Amino acid sequence: MKLNKTKIRWIIRQKRKGMATKDIARDIKVSTRRVQQVLKEYRETGKEPSLGENLGRPAKPYDEHEAQIVKEAHEYYICHRLRIGLNSLADF
């Protein structure tokens, strides 16, 4: 089951009350390890862990020259495709 802000707060609150990590994990249907990760981040930062932020590969900045190359290639291939009569990928 996915964690949300409410469940994270509940994990922290229950641990403060002295509840075992295994019991917390069982009650909200996540792994014991995930509960440990949430509690570790809370101990280290003093804040609730953020979910869904700063995930994935960082965006690579590009300059105007690169953007122009991509735009020209896109326009060329769109025009070429229309010229030979392929209006959709289903025509292949």
pLDDT band, residue 92 (cuts 50/70/90): very low
Distance CA 31, CA 12 (A): 15
**pTM of the full structure:** 0.57
Question: Taking a C-beta distance cutoff of 8 angstroms, is the pair 28, 56 a contact?
Answer: no
Which tens digit of pLDDT belongs to each residue from 12-53? 999 999 999 999 999 999 999 999 999 999 999 998 888 777
What average pLDDT does the segment 78-91 reach? 59
Report the candidate in 21, 78, 83, 8 with the shortest Cα–Cα distance to residue 50: 8
